Amino acid sequence: MERPLSRVLRGSLRRGLQDIRSDTPARPALSRLPARPSAPEAERIPSLR
């Protein structure tokens, strides 16, 4: 059970990361954003509010 599950989880994680990177190119840059983003950035990413 553990081996197949780990393979499936790794595959799904890889797919999810690829989807996030391809769908939302701004996501990887979130870690680079300052603590207080500018108004336009805050409007683009409501989750930072």
Give the list of residues 6+ apart from residue 43 with CB closer than 8 angstroms, or none: none
Task: Measure the CA–CA gap between 4 and 26, rounded to whole angstroms.
Answer: 33
Q: Which residues constitute the domain of residue 32?
A: 2-48
Structural domains counted in the chain: 1
Distance CA 43, CA 37 (A): 10
Which residues lie below 8 Å from residue 21, measured CB to CB, with a gap of 6+? 27, 28
What mean pLDDT is predicted for residues 29-45?
Answer: 58
pLDDT at 7: 76
Predicted confidence (pLDDT) per residue in 1-29, tens digit: 556 777 777 777 776 666 655 555 555 55
Locate tokens 């509010």: which residue?
49
Integer Cα distance of 16 and 4 in angstroms: 18
